[in-house]
């Protein structure tokens, strides 16, 4: 058995057009794969499969703006691995989207889907754009053109997009309609996260946040952390962060700090969730909420808390910030929020991290339910959805925890071990063609 690679070693990308650093999204993913190699046994001969996306599509998206001018946007769709089934993963609209980021996100989707044992591979998409600068009509035109451009590789049995950062059910409806018009059939199963009346699933909007809560509840129980009175700090207060926060409050916890794009607020006694959610709905962010003390952005990482939920973007918990975290439990609601060097520091400090690839898998699990319901045209109640989700999440976490205990490794490495074994077993059994 080879030794675990040093955290400081820079991974080398086999892709000539990507030059990752250790803390970049793709670099982080490659280091995570390297750390799991000693636990793959004979399947390690296939590990290069995990380090190379199967397919990466870059598209130009020209649209006519409302003022009559023409603008061009760059879009991506990456299918990392399809050995276990069609690609599955969201589409994000953000000015910082890059090919490398989308590659990493697609790879994490491969791991996530396999960790929860869903019959999917991993994929991801994105457009480099600030959607807040577009009108609704411009946003629709951009979405429809993007869907047409990537239509050559998506489909209900090929690759199924879903909402991600700055995308929502309306955007999924436009994607579904565009694909359907181009194929001459109503293909509800081409995307998930759709409006309910277009084949969407009940429980989907809050599913990722619910998964964060369920895995957090199980982890807290295992480490003896009582949720009654537990102090929770949340970074990112969109669907994921706010939904998880609501459930922790219902379980007896209190939200003492929240940070989003509009500011950072603190209240040691805990925020009133109904008031905070109403403010966010009206103001578009937590900034300006009167019932909280305004903090400097960096001060968020020093807030005394028991549970920390990073639910914003990747790369937020750096080595420097990891030394300041006060929580006993970190629940990764975002994708890739902790860089590998920070992971090591948190482990050394005895802070348990429930990794993104299991912690935030509630969203893709209910997306799977939606996909299944669309094929059968038979839909479940929200209670049925939540019961099925909780059972899958608890069972997946138990297998991962047992693996971590058996090998004496972190939950992240254990999650990768379980997932990579499933992916590479499928790769080996399918063989190489031709």
- 172, 194 in Cβ contact below 8 A? yes
Tokens (6 digits) for 212: 């964060």
Specify burial of residue 251 (Cβ count, 10 A radius: 0-12, 13-18, 19+): middle
Structure tokens belonging to residue 7? 């955290």
Tokens of 49: 């499969």
Residue 354 φ then ψ, to 5°: -90, 110
Q: Give the rounded distance of the alpha carbon of 426 from its chain centre.
A: 23
In 108-197 the beta strands, taken as DSSP E runs, fall at 121-128, 159-163
At residue 214's C-alpha, the angle toward residues 208 and 215, to 5°, is: 90
3-state SS, residue 91? strand
Q: Is the Cβ–Cβ distance between 310 and 256 less than 8 Å?
A: no
Q: Do 141 and 70 meet the contact criterion of CB atoms below 8 Å apart?
A: no
CA 67 to chain centre: 36
Kindly name the residue from 88, 124, 206, 254 that is annotated as catalytic: 124
Q: How many residues are there in the chain?
A: 434
From residue 352, alpha-carbon distances to 39, 116, 144, 331 in Å are: 21, 20, 42, 9
Residue 266 · residue 303 · CB < 8 Å:
yes
Q: What is the DSSP letter of 137?
A: H
Tokens of 300: 């968020």
366: which 2 tokens?
A: 């209910």
Distance of CA 404 to the CA centre of its chain: 22
Q: Is 137 a catalytic residue?
A: no
63: β partners: 71
The verdict on whether omega for the bond into residue 65 sits within 30 degrees of 0, i.e. cis, is: no
Q: Measuring CA to CA, which residue among 33, 91, 90, 35 is closest to residue 61?
A: 91
* Residue ranges in 164-300 assigned as alpha helix (H): 169-183, 207-223, 239-250, 273-283
Give the C-alpha distances (Å, rounded to integers) separating 222 from 114, 198, 249, 353, 394: 24, 40, 20, 13, 12
Active site residues: 124
């Amino acid at each position: 058995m080879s030794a675990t690679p040093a955290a400081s070693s820079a991974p080398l990308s086999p892709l000539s057009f990507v030059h990752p650093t250790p803390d970049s999204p793709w670099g982080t993913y490659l280091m995570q794969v390297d750390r799991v190699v000693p636990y793959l046994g004979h399947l390690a001969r296939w590990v290069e499969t995990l380090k190379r996306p199967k397919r990466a599509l870059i598209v130009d998206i020209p649209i006519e703006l409302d003022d009559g001018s023409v603008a061009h946007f760059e879009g991506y769709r990456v299918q990392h691995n399809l050995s276990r089934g069609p690609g599955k993963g969201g589409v994000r609209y953000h000015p910082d989207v890059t090919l490398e980021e989308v590659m990493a996100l697609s790879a994490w989707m491969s791991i996530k889907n396999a960790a929860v044992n869903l019959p999917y591979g991993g994929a991801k998409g994105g457009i480099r754009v600030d959607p807040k600068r577009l009108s609704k009509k411009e946003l629709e035109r951009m979405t429809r053109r993007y869907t047409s451009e990537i239509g050559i590789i998506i489909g209900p049995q090929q690759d199924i997009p879903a909402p991600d950062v700055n995308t929502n059910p309306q955007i999924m409806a436009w994607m579904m309609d565009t694909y359907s018009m181009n194929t001459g059939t109503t293909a509800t199963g081409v995307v998930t996260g759709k409006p309910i009346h277009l084949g969407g699933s009940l429980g989907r909007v809050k599913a990722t946040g619910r998964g964060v809560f369920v895995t957090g509840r199980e982890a807290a129980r295992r480490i003896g952390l009582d949720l009654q009175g537990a102090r929770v700090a949340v970074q990112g207060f969109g669907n994921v962060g706010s939904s998880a926060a609501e459930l922790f409050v219902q379980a007896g916890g209190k939200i003492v700090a929240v940070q989003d794009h509009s500011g950072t607020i603190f209240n040691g006694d805990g925020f009133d969730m109904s008031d905070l959610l109403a403010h966010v709905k009206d103001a578009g962010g937590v900034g300006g909420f009167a019932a909280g003390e305004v903090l400097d952005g960096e001060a968020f990482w020093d807030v005394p808390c028991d549970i920390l939920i990073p639910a914003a973007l990747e790369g937020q918990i750096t080595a420097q910030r990891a030394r300041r975290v006060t929580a006993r439990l970190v629940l990764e609601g975002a994708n890739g929020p902790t860089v590998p060097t920070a992971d090591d520091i948190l482990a050394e400090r005895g802070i348990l991290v429930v990794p993104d690839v299991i912690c935030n898998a509630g969203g893709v699990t209910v997306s799977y339910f939606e996909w299944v319901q669309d094929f059968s045209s038979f839909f479940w109640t929200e209670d049925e959805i939540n019961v099925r989700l909780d059972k899958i999440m608890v069972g997946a976490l138990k297998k991962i925890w047992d693996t971590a205990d058996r090998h004496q490794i972190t939950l992240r490495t254990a999650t990768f071990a379980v997932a990579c074994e499933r992916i590479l077993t499928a790769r080996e059994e399918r063989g190489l063609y031709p």
